Amino acid sequence: MSGSAEICMVSVQHSSKDDRIYYKQAVSLRNAGFKVSILTANATGRPCDMSGQEFNPGPDERDIKHFCVKEPESFFQKSLKKVFRGKFYRNLIESAVNSGARIFVAHEAQSIGIARKAAQINKGIYVFDAHESIYVSNPKERMALRTEIHALQYLTCANPITLDTLLDKMNPRLSEVIYNASLIPSSPVDNGLNPLIIHEGSLPFNRGLRLMMEAMAELKVLIPDFRLKIVGRVKGEEKAYFDSMLTDKGLRDNIEITGWIDYNLLGQALSSGTIGLILNTAEPNNLYGGPANKLFNYFASNIAVVAVDLPETTRILKETGAGITLLEREPKLLADTLASLIDNRESLLKYRHAAHAAHLEYSWQEEGKKCVEFYKKVSDDLEQ
């Protein structure tokens, strides 16, 4: 296989340069010789990165082409969009077809129909890249899955749980688990770092904001000068709650928040951390999806992990020994666990060295190879 087949990635819910997931796949595939384009949609109809910064359509600095379709504005077209009809979806299908690709990758359930129709027109193949649990709360996502799932022949998933669940409902020709591992390069463990708790990523309530803040109030009693660095942002209703807890519990001197961080700068922002939190609530999409991107970013940054019980995260932590799983989502239990790690430097170092070793296994360098090999097989099928 020459690796010259053209791939069009279709995502109606993510930015054109979603560095956490799709863009790094695109870069790996382009570096392997595939031609790659990314088709997205937003309110302006211009490609944008994860910060919302717009950029010109067409090839970027990595020679990956970008196309973007404008979201509908009229009530009528918005209504049609809800049932996968109307001008918006016609424009997406037309843009996908015009990309010249013959392999189309749907990066969420709502994109499967677009990828399928474009593949039919261009006599190609379409792939579903499942990064969320199929137990999604969004009715539109559920409808898309019910409609499309049985005909899918090519499937990639971000964890074995999602793969096994989908395999119960379909019989694909080709499937693969590709973990959403970190691009942060490996570095030696700095044994001299002072304890610093990290939460990487945004903090809506379903990522465990309440549990975290209540636990920090408990930890303040045990270790008054503890430090927590939130590498990400808190918005809206969550921001109001966060600010009130900072004031009411006297946590302003303990907690730093960076705001949104460019993915290329994430390694630097995490480099001083020693303990990383994963506190997602126990809703189906959290329990059966994942593992969270932050798990692999913590591994890459030699950060010991303290996580609530999320099946795939729990399995990986048990396998690697890189952290502690809390079987109950209790603030006092979380605070006591953090205090124990902060007080016991030897134990903390053991987990941090295990995280370093885990990154060697769960790195994008390795997962990217699996991604490339999968699409080589898809391309081979296309040529037969």
| Residue 159: strand, helix, or coil | coil
Indicate if 197-361 has the same CATH topology as 6-181+364-383. Answer: yes
Please tell me the CATH code under which domain 6-181+364-383 is placed: 3.40.50.2000
Report DSSP letters for 76-126, one per residue.
HHHHHHHTT-SHHHHHHHHHHHHTT-SEEEESSGGGHHHHHHHHHHTT-EE
Distance in angstroms (rounded) separating the CA atoms of residues 351 and 42: 42
Confidence band for 2, pLDDT divided at 50, 70 and 90: very low
The pLDDT tens digits of the residues spanning 50-109 come to: 888 899 999 999 999 999 999 999 998 988 888 788 999 999 999 999 999 999 999 988
Residues sharing a CB contact under 8 Å with residue 364, sequence separation 6 or more, in sequence order: 24, 28, 181, 182, 183
Task: Give the chain's mean pLDDT.
Answer: 93
Report the pLDDT value the prediction gives residue 205, as an integer from 0 to 100: 96
What radius of gyration do the chain's Cα atoms show? Answer: 22
The pLDDT tens digits of the residues spanning 239-249 come to: 999 999 999 99
pLDDT of residue 187 exceeding 60, the answer is yes
The pLDDT tens digits of the residues spanning 352-381 come to: 999 999 999 999 999 999 999 999 999 999
**What percent of the chain stands above pLDDT 90?**
77
The pLDDT tens digits of the residues spanning 120-167 come to: 999 999 999 988 777 665 777 778 888 888 899 999 999 998 898 888
Distance in angstroms (rounded) separating the CA atoms of residues 196 and 200: 12
Distance in angstroms (rounded) separating the CA atoms of residues 177 and 165: 12
The topology under which CATH files domain 197-361 is Rossmann fold (3.40.50)
Query: Residue 198 pairs with which residues in a beta bridge?
Result: 229, 276
Please say whether the dihedral angle defined by the alpha carbons of residues 340, 343, 345 and 349, taken in this order, is positive or negative: positive
The pLDDT tens digits of the residues spanning 253-269 come to: 999 999 988 888 999 99
What's CA 280's distance to the chain center, in Å? 13
The domain limits of the chain are: 6-181+364-383, 197-361
Report the pLDDT value the prediction gives residue 131, as an integer from 0 to 100: 81
pLDDT of residue 281 exceeding 50, the answer is yes
The pLDDT tens digits of the residues spanning 292-334 come to: 899 999 999 999 999 999 999 999 999 999 999 999 999 999 9
Report the pLDDT value the prediction gives residue 383, as an integer from 0 to 100: 86
